[in-house]
Amino acid sequence: MKKIFSFLAIAICLFFVAAFTNRNSENDWVSLFDGKTLNNWKVGDNAATFSVENGMIVVNGPTAHLFYNGDVNNHTFKNFEFKATVMTMPGSNSGIYFHTSFQQGGWPATGYEVQVNNSHTDWRRTGSLYGIQDVKEVYVKDNEWYTEYIKVEGKRVIIKINDKTVVDYTEPENVKREEGEAQRIISNGTFALQGHDPKSKVFFKNLLVKVLPD
Short-list 58, 45, 55, 60, CA closest to 91: 60
- Average pLDDT across each block of 10 residues of the chain; the chain has 214 residues. List them in order: 47 44 59 98 98 98 98 98 98 98 97 98 98 97 98 98 98 90 95 98 98 96
Q: Which pLDDT value is given to residue 24?
A: 39
> CATH classification of 32-211 is 2.60.120.560, yes or no?
yes
Q: Which pLDDT value is given to residue 21?
A: 41
* Biggest alpha carbon–alpha carbon distance for the chain: 78
The long-range contacts involving 183-187, CB below 8 angstroms and separated by at least 24 positions, are 183/109, 183/110, 183/111, 184/110, 184/111, 184/112, 184/131, 184/132, 185/99, 186/99, 186/112, 186/152, 186/154, 186/155, 186/157, 187/78, 187/99, 187/110, 187/111
Q: Compute the distance between CA of residue 199 and CA of residue 201 in angstroms, rounded to an integer.
A: 7
The dihedral formed by the CA atoms of 146, 166, 136 and 185, expressed in degrees to the nearest 10? 110
Q: Which pLDDT value is given to residue 176?
A: 87
Q: Compute the distance between CA of residue 193 and CA of residue 114 in angstroms, rounded to an integer.
A: 10
pTM of the model: 0.87
